[in-house]
């Protein structure tokens, strides 16, 4: 059922210890599926590639999904994408994980911990994707801001949740020896996943889109390009914050938000709301509660994201096709 392959040259061998780690993680998730009453996978492919974007693009016609992989690239606010989960089938029981070869290595304990976390994160996506399908809930990407915000919320929440699940798996497979000789489960914090870096990169990206809105005020040009940039970057900021916050929180602990009023302005209260919502959900949901929980969450989080856009000067009306964007003067917003 588990197929591990090297892309593009399948004849080369992956180190045995790495294959063993991947097998252990796949089994751990089989266990979670059976505990949660989720159908077992019919196949799991892990593709290890030196060219992640190229491998993902090659799968475009073989996998389902809302977004085309044709133009997939790996640069994001917060770093470079090192793994991607896709599905061959509507039931989400035949996932394909593409992992960047440079980021999975088990030759030292710290690299082993990183690899465990990264692969468990992608496997958590396969579990959540399958549960979402079984629960019959869909939040597709949308055209209008008052729907797009829900899609962005759902995406950020899934990243937070996948990190939290990966953190639990890491703790179940690795431990840390304390100074007094005792030991405890390892967490992502021990593996130095830099909550601060994610926060700083998110703050920089936020400053950039605030500047972009101001450029529009001055020039009056390229409104729809500006909005596309703000919308895409808002999604990336939320995902960077989700990763940073999950690393900061640890799997069972709601720490303070990693944002601040001074660095994040209206994103601070938006993130506070999202973090509270994210953290109030169970790490691994029950299938029969999944749909109601996700609908309520994206509704509330979506409203907070609309408030954030208002805070940086953008409000929307549906009285023209597809919608009307109003850009507030600087005195009325955070800039």
Using CB under 5 A as the criterion, which residues of the chain lie in contact with Zn ion when the complex forms?
159, 162
Q: Which of 145, 170, 169, 139 is nearest to 157 (CA)?
A: 139
**Max CA separation in the chain (angstroms):** 67
Q: How far is the CB of 89 from Zn ion (least distance, A)?
A: 20
**b/e 304-319 (16+ beta carbons within 10 angstroms → b):** bbbebbbbbbbebeee
Give the nearer residue to Zn ion in terms of CB position, either 165 or 333: 165
Residue with Cβ nearer Zn ion (159 or 249): 159
Specify which residues 85 forms β-bridges with.
97
Rounded to a whole number of angstroms, the distance between the first and last alpha carbons of the chain is 53
Q: How far is the CB of 152 from Zn ion (least distance, A)?
A: 14
Residue closer to Zn ion (CB basis): 159 or 167: 159
User: In angstroms, what is the minimal distance from the CB of 238 to Zn ion?
Assistant: 12
Short-list 12, 2, 101, 97, CA closest to 42 = 2
CA-wise closest residue to 231 among 299, 160, 312:
312
Q: Nearer to Zn ion by C-beta: 135 or 156?
A: 156
Least separation in angstroms between residue 111's CB and Zn ion is 19
Q: Which is nearer to Zn ion, 162 or 202 (CB)?
A: 162
Closest CA to 253 of 270, 271, 278, 274: 278
User: In the bound complex, what is the minimum distance in angstroms from residue 320's beta carbon to Zn ion?
Assistant: 36
Fill in the DSSP letter of residue 46.
Answer: E
């Amino acid at each position: 059922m588990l197929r591990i392959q090297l892309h593009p040259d399948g004849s080369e061998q992956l180190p045995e210890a790495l294959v063993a780690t991947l097998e252990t993680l796949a089994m751990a998730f089989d266990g979670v599926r059976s505990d949660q009453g989720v159908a077992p996978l019919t196949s799991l492919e892990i593709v290890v590639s030196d060219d992640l974007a190229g491998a993902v693009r090659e799968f475009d016609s073989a996998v389902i999904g809302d977004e085309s992989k044709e133009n997939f690239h790996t640069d994001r606010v917060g770093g470079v994408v090192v793994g991607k989960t896709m599905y061959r089938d509507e039931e989400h029981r035949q996932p394909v994980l593409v992992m960047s070869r440079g980021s999975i290595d088990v030759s030292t304990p710290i690299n082993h911990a990183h690899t465990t976390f990264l692969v468990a994160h992608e496997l958590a996506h396969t579990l959540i994707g399958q549960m979402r399908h079984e629960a019959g809930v869909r939040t597709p990407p949308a055209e209008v801001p008052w729907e797009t915000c829900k899609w962005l919320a759902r995406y950020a929440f899934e990243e937070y949740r996948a990190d939290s699940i990966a953190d639990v798996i890491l703790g179940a497979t690795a431990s840390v020896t304390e100074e007094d000789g005792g030991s405890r489960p390892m967490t992502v914090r021990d593996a130095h996943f830099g909550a601060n870096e994610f926060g700083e990169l998110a703050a920089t990206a936020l400053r950039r889109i605030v500047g972009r809105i101001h450029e529009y005020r001055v020039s009056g040009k390229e409104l729809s390009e500006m909005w596309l940039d703000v919308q895409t970057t808002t999604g990336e900021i939320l995902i960077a914050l989700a990763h940073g916050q999950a690393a900061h929180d640890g799997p069972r602990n709601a720490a303070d938000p990693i944002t601040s009023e001074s660095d994040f302005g209206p994103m601070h209260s938006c993130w506070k709301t999202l973090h509270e919502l994210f953290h109030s959900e169970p790490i691994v949901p029950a299938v029969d509660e999944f749909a109601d929980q996700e609908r309520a969450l994206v509704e509330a989080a979506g409203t907070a994201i609309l408030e954030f856009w208002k805070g940086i000067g953008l409000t929307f009306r549906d009285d023209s096709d597809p919608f009307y964007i109003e850009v507030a003067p600087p005195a009325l917003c955070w800039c």
